[in-house]
Amino acid sequence: MTFPDKKYDHIGDLAADYFGRTVTAQASVDHAKLAAAAEILEAAYERGAFVFVCGNGGSASISNHLTCDHLKGAQTDTGLLPRVMSLAATMETVTAIANDISFDDIFVYQLRTLAREGDVLISISSSGDSENVVRACEWARDNGVSVISMTGFSGGRSGKLANVNLHVDGDNYGVVEDTHQGLMHILAQFIRQKRMDEDLIAERRF
């Protein structure tokens, strides 16, 4: 059964159920896998590897936001120099590939041009089954690029292709995307605070 499965007459009732579902979704995230994802990212930032991010729709927005919070946020007060690029932000390139080749290739075309062995791909897809995301994950897996996938619903093919799958138990796009956004923030803030002096943490805004 999906959410919502009925009509709501009052927005407060929908909000209460939505927030409740969000809490449940957040609690479903495997903390061991979250720690593994943080380890992959921190190691990539330390060695100067590129971290590429991709997603469609709301997940594209999270991809772009991740670039900001990891490139700038994880760098602040840490000495890290994260190299992060959203493959969803290159609109001119995305539309050229979609128009001239295939929308299914908008991420993998960029990835195979830019990525090298030892880099990292973060894929964000609520269904886990967006063809353009799956193709990027397949290429990454076959070419020595580690894959961290964020998924919801059944996890889809990208969940199975990942080195680390951060799966959210949810069947509502908003709830799943809200949780993915939270995971993006948590990863950036954990890596940042880990490298800061403890006295400095209380003086900063996160």
Q: Three-state secondary structure along 35-63?
A: HHHHHHHHHHHHHCCEEEEEECCHHHHHH
The three-state secondary structure class of 15 is helix
Q: What is the fold, at CATH topology level, of the domain defined by 30-201?
A: Rossmann fold (3.40.50)
Which residue in this structure is represented by tokens 């590939």? 97
Per-residue pLDDT at 129: 97
Query: Mind listing the pLDDT tens digit of every residue in the chain (206 residues)?
Result: 689 999 999 999 999 999 999 999 999 999 999 999 999 999 999 999 999 999 999 999 999 999 999 999 999 999 899 999 999 999 999 999 999 999 999 999 999 999 999 999 999 999 999 999 999 999 999 999 999 999 999 999 999 999 999 999 999 999 999 999 999 999 999 999 999 888 889 888 89
State the CB neighbour count (10 A cutoff) for residue 123.
Answer: 30
pTM: 0.95
Numbers of helices and strands, H then E, in the chain: 9, 5
Rounded to whole angstroms, the Cα distance separating 21 from 174 reads 10
Domain layout of the chain by residue ranges: 30-201
CB of 171 closer than 8 Å to CB of 153 = yes
